[in-house]
Amino acid sequence: MSLPNFVELGKKIVCVGRNYADHAVELGNEVPTEPLLFLKPTTAYLQEGSLIKMPPGCTDLHHEVELGIVIGTKGSNIPEASAMNYVCGYVLGLDMTARNLHDAAKKNGHSWTLAKSFDTSCPISKFVEKDCVKDVDNVRLWLSVNGNMRQDGNTSDMIFKIPTLISYISRSMTLEPGDVILTGTPSGFGPVKSGDVIVAGLDQLLEMSFTVA
């Protein structure tokens, strides 16, 4: 099944936090023992050609590049052994984060919603067919800002692999065609400002570019 129209079809974006040990460490957090989840609304999607906007109250906007899984088949309580059967393809996504709001929310024990779920907080690439990714557990993803490399990681370093994430998420919420799971970011997140150009890539499969308004 192919879903190049996942942006219009999908109902939710499920995000995984701290899924790379080096990223957890650079944030000063413990490495999680089970997946840490949060949601973005589909209104957060941003496709190439549109500008990333600074949300209200944000004074420190950060980039985080992530591999996204596009769900092709509806399922709940999915066993790990069959989880990959529910995947129809992949995307590259950015989890744009209002870091000052995120830090304040963590300090006060509050939700990350305003820091993570604002409009344009999920710049997204075009759809990549599942068969184009030969080994999803060994895929390079990278990000540069104004030509300077900031993030350069590999999915081999994910703490929780894709079948584990799909199974874990589907215990609590039904996954539906077009839904996207963002699988976490490697180390190297950092700030962007007005006029900065973010370029990100997934192995030799695709590149995408976004400018900060």
pLDDT tens for each residue of 91-144: 999 999 999 999 999 999 999 999 999 999 999 999 999 999 999 999 999 999
Banded model confidence at residue 167, pLDDT cuts 50, 70, 90: very high
- Position 26 scores a pLDDT of 79
Pairing of strands 45-46, 140-145: unpaired
CATH of domain 6-211: 3.90.850.10
- Position 29 scores a pLDDT of 76
Burial class (CB in 10 A: 0-12, 13-18, 19+), 77: exposed
What is the average pLDDT across 14-39? 88
In one-letter notation, the amino acid at residue 211 is: T
- Position 23 scores a pLDDT of 79
pLDDT digit string, tens, across residues 64-96: 999 999 999 999 999 999 999 999 999 999 999
- Position 31 scores a pLDDT of 80
Domain ranges of the chain: 6-211
- Position 171 scores a pLDDT of 98
Angstrom CA distances, 81 to 42, 77, 84, 164, stand at 29, 12, 8, 9
- Position 21 scores a pLDDT of 84
